[in-house]
Structure 1
């Protein structure tokens, strides 16, 4: 039923197209030929030159071209959108299209048709291993924040309608202090002379402290610094009672190398030993005799390989029946006594909070980790913990002693071995990780309007309604389950843009109080990182023993991502995501619904996937689906598993390839399919009641229908380029299919897509929602 699909770098596929689609391609050539010049002129209109002259000249050309149909030569009254946002979106689409029109094949290889141009034109920076829409959006937001932090305090007057209108004189001093804290953290990181002068000294202090502690204390000490070797732990809502906070403990996601499969590659394995030896034998770092460096390095890496062999598979984390295992702390200690979990966890929590019960994820893996520890000498375990501390702080320290490890990481990701990110990028990421809500306040005030927030909320509401309408028509779900599914959809809470509680980023005083325990020095970047890490860990663990804070967000508003929280039954769309080219209230709605709307539908779909279907409308773990509904779901899901397992990426060895895991990526693939269907129906419903101006044409793209551009907008989110090594690593570790696979597989599973492009086969390959 499924043929293997292998995407090579800059490869194209042509499987035959309808004549109607070939005609579409020929007509587009006319528009594209003019569009490069048109887009340049419009961009110049808003970004330089004589604005008035450019405006008249540009609009004159646009009038001539946009009103002329290349097929009939007749005038049309379809309106063209020439706002900066529309020009930006049109230029992205035209840039991404396959420049070789003879290879356009919308039905056979949609992703190759609309994204090949991106792969051919876009150059990865030397410090990058991949790029797609989200990384480009992050680049733009970082550039904006760099400009702000390089300047002085933005002392501006705010209009009363602005969400930051609370910034009156009584709070302006606090706002200035917040800006200073951000700027000081950023500048301390930028001061490479000071960072290099300090060198390894602060890391040596950490290693010395680590050597003096027993295992449980060493684990908690590293955890407070943000490092989790062997096991990880955190605090979150209990799946059985989503109003209570509980401790979760799980096997560490990685033990040293970025993927456990790397330990099976002899070349990487031996090179890794060389790196550990070189680092441990550095005269400044060395914590063992010179003669023992090689044997210690071998012991560390062999220990890591043993740990990697017992780590759970990635898909295990998508199985709630395997990850939700409540037990007493005494029972957990009996299962893995060498981890000394009671001491480890109690050291992280408030002394007044007694931990009696935890959720142990994948208990059999924890038991096997205990077994590995029992067969390993104490000096090896201690050496491993020191190595983990070195790895954890490698990006914070500037020293020749750590370059071999950084070079190996670059090699494993397919980057230039000696490449490093521009320092300002590293420092902005550091500030976002440690003072994310303060940075988000600056970003939102510059880049996110109240109109954007309202439009995003409207899209979420529209798609919720379409999801409910779809549930009512599902024939494989019985009425009782269907009724609860509809109620769960109605109960979904949408967090859009930014929070106004926990913390309120529009209130400088609240932000100041939120970060009051973070100590920022103008002199020590390392100390700043430690303080910010301490704050993150302490902030999380301070929630233990308290009711769940339903106002808290998981990630800062500047984040370019979206997520569904099953215990809160909430979808999250931060302001960082609600940006061009995928979203704007001034874009034609078919683009915002096609790109952002499909992401909304994707997250809503997670409420009913392999994890979500175990969580009821109140956010609690309950088996509320009947066995018949579960069987029907699983039967239809099998199609997705088979379909995606036939996609592959080139391996690192000549003539080799790795198949996508259809099982590991199942929940995400089903979410993609359900999301695009809900978004399309929501847009069509909205378009039927909106004026034509809400869905105007784009420059150079009049040969596409609005329905077609809906799907082009969807696919543009996934236009991507990556190194071969990073593509392989993602096959090993990611619960998502590769970007190109998601664009291709999702559209093959959409009836509306096949109808929009008049494909010969209208039936979707796989269908569930």
Structure 2
């Protein structure tokens, strides 16, 4: 395995490249004539009438010109060419760790949600919308939050036996790690040792199944398994635990010797380090067949009972554990219940680790994960301690204003209620129609490309086309928004009071109950798992569906009044990206129903793996020099963990450009932009693509992305994708062998 400084990167939708230097013609003004890049053509401003004069086109041109750095050779570094001035004009704000186009749209959206949630309650509001306003109000009521202090948090901890590090007396004989974990899962959605949830069966997507997996960690796995490299972050982590424990103890009027707190905090972090070593890295989790292991609860019990342990109390009684999680769900769980275990070996190694770990340390760790999760929902002091740690990881200098934190909490807890109001107030319903049409066109381009490729046999092509045609698109918002009763039913039983932390806990409990209740329910392939008020998009392999919430269907991703070149280059590439995910290294493992199925011929698989290796090799060699000073070495990417997103980025760009060419064929050439007459619509397509990914970032935030995100950093998403594009090289007339037109190109879709 490569060391962690051989960087991986993830970000929620987002490719890469290395840079040399060659020279091309940069557009320059000569009198009244503007020379076109690399074409030799020139356009007189007085004579050229083929220029879009809509307000949206003027705004788009102004935005592009303010972003671009024309002093940079477009064929050597297109990211700097397209985004050079944007980065200069958008430094990372002190309250942020990065600044990009998604952040700007999200900031605008947050202000809109603020207006919605700060409106007075209206008798015409659906009950859940009124509840969301009360939830936000309770979050903003800092006086009541401070009055409550840590009382409720301490009650929760005491109900689970008390946090040893902050307790005068702690009774180890009454502690059961599995009993506590079951309650944490059911009531708080906190899953430190074993992640248990219900979701669609990978081999039978018509039903749901209980799934058990390795847990999420506080720090990225790479940091924990290489403590010598990330000592600074681990020191900040220990400090956070120490100072938080002091606050908890002080709230209970208990004096704990500082030495004991320091020793306990050290043990907590050391335990998480050992826990991280047991987990599988992302590279090993891209094979869905490897992580699909179906056992009955009885068989799982036999499996974990085979672990060699000394203390019988370490063992887990699986039937009791799962029944406790499902305590308030109206389903019967028996020993013959089938479950999917994603990491079988992890469970054996976990029991062995627990067997060799002092009970006090295990209890301290479990309680710490509750405290950590709740910190920002309690006092100002606890929020500050959490931020002191976060700024070490992110590079942010100041904490977010409370109202933005409360927007995040409210939208996360009552997402469809908040989204309902957002859609009715701010969503452009014409955008949904345009997005539906664009999905149709880009899907058509993808299908045409499947028919044209020469590396796939005809039978596999046929099934690939069927999968693409069967792909469901969810755009804007759920259809059931048209029925207020459905919204009321979705949040039936929701209670919102004056205590912010109590509201958060109640919301998490309800969310877990909603997830677990799907165990015996039929699959709804049109179900939304995200709110409309998010700036994001995704592909769900288990329902073979693509989702584009209302939040992303706006400028700079989409604007119906500007030329289609920009729309296809931005939201069109996002659509193509999500479609391609159905056929990336992981998506190809599922059929049109979302079931794990081997629908590729062996020869086609062999060719696909060879082609995907090209992407792995390409991205393996990309440098991230901004991180060299942090890790004291030359940092490079990891092409294995990012290959799915890289394949999707490359395929998405290609399909969107093919769809745009078809649009031109059907509708005729598009106009140019005012003040940018030297750029053809095809060139504007690629500018529209690149400027979506303009970003400023702290090195600390970049490190988090590299360690934890399956996407490549924004800059590399632009450079890597365009370096593989013959269409880009042709549009900008880049010489063969130039940085943006290398001789070796990777392409699958």
**Match for residue 367 of structure 1 among 343, 348, 366:** 348
Tell me, yes or no, if the aligned pair for 1:92 and 1:581 is still in contact at 8 Å: no
SS at 1:234's partner residue? strand
Q: Does 1:618 align with 2:593?
A: yes
Q: Does 1:238 align with 2:201?
A: yes
Distance 1:116 1:198 in 2: 49
SS at 2:160's partner residue? helix
Identify if the C-alpha distance between structure 1 residues 517 and 689 changes in structure 2 by more than 3 Å, giving closer, same or farther.
same
Partner of 1:530: 505
Deviates more, 1:610-619 or 1:454-463: 610-619
Partner of 1:323: 291
Partner of 2:176: 214
Distance 2:76 2:88 in 1: 20
Matches within 5 A, 1:188-337: 188-211=138-161, 214-223=176-185, 224-254=187-217, 256-262=218-224, 263-264=227-228, 265-282=230-247, 283-284=249-250, 289-290=256-257, 291-336=259-304
Deviates more, 1:381-390 or 1:140-149: 140-149
With normalisation by structure 1, the TM-score equals: 0.86
Q: Does 1:706 align with 2:656?
A: no
Q: Does 1:452 align with 2:446?
A: no
Partner of 2:394: 413
Partner of 1:109: 77
Tell me, yes or no, if the aligned pair for 1:658 and 1:728 is still in contact at 8 Å: no
Tell me, yes or no, if the aligned pair for 1:668 and 1:735 is still in contact at 8 Å: yes
Q: Does 1:118 align with 2:118?
A: no
Distance 1:553 1:568 in 2: 11
SS at 1:242's partner residue? strand
Tell me, yes or no, if the aligned pair for 1:196 and 1:398 is still in contact at 8 Å: yes
Q: 1 or 2 for the larger relative contact order (CA 8 Å, sep ≥6)?
A: 2
Identify if the C-alpha distance between structure 1 residues 612 and 526 changes in structure 2 by more than 3 Å, giving closer, same or farther.
same
SS at 1:253's partner residue? coil
Q: Deviations over 1:409-428 (max 9, x none)?
A: 21111122xx2111111111
Tell me, yes or no, if the aligned pair for 2:570 and 2:689 is still in contact at 8 Å: yes
Matches within 5 A, 1:579-590: 579-590=554-565
Distance 1:183 1:753 in 2: 48
Identify if the C-alpha distance between structure 1 residues 631 and 288 changes in structure 2 by more than 3 Å, giving closer, same or farther.
farther
Partner of 1:387: 368
Tell me, yes or no, if the aligned pair for 1:601 and 1:679 is still in contact at 8 Å: yes
1:353, distance to aligned residue in structure 2 (A): 2.6
Q: Does 1:665 align with 2:652?
A: no
Tell me, yes or no, if the aligned pair for 1:259 and 1:729 is still in contact at 8 Å: no
1:701, distance to aligned residue in structure 2 (A): 2.0
- Structure 1: any 5+ residue segments left out of the alignment? 33-68, 155-172
**Match for residue 90 of structure 1 among 61, 70, 74:** 61
Distance 1:393 1:760 in 2: 56
Distance 1:690 1:128 in 2: 43
Partner of 2:401: 422
Identify if the C-alpha distance between structure 1 residues 368 and 598 changes in structure 2 by more than 3 Å, giving closer, same or farther.
same
Matches within 5 A, 1:489-500: 489-500=468-479
Distance 2:513 2:266 in 1: 35
Matches within 5 A, 1:745-764: 745-761=720-736
Q: Does 1:404 align with 2:369?
A: no
Partner of 2:748: 768
1:453, distance to aligned residue in structure 2 (A): 0.8
Tell me, yes or no, if the aligned pair for 2:525 and 2:543 is still in contact at 8 Å: yes
Q: Deviations over 1:56-87 (max 9, x none)?
A: xxxxxxxxxxxxx975565112132332x334
Partner of 2:104: 136
With normalisation by structure 2, the TM-score equals: 0.88
Identify if the C-alpha distance between structure 1 residues 115 and 343 changes in structure 2 by more than 3 Å, giving closer, same or farther.
farther
Matches within 5 A, 1:434-513: 434-500=413-479, 504-513=480-489
**Match for residue 602 of structure 2 among 627, 635, 647:** 627
Distance 2:425 2:382 in 1: 41
**Match for residue 514 of structure 1 among 490, 494, 514:** 490
Tell me, yes or no, if the aligned pair for 1:15 and 1:105 is still in contact at 8 Å: no
Distance 1:542 1:575 in 2: 27
Deviates more, 1:86-95 or 1:542-551: 86-95
**Match for residue 134 of structure 2 among 167, 184, 192:** 184
1:369, distance to aligned residue in structure 2 (A): 2.0
Distance 1:631 1:235 in 2: 34
Tell me, yes or no, if the aligned pair for 2:295 and 2:340 is still in contact at 8 Å: yes
Distance 1:746 1:688 in 2: 25
SS at 1:542's partner residue? helix
Identify if the C-alpha distance between structure 1 residues 655 and 277 changes in structure 2 by more than 3 Å, giving closer, same or farther.
closer
Distance 2:601 2:690 in 1: 36
Distance 1:630 1:250 in 2: 28
Q: Does 1:81 align with 2:81?
A: no
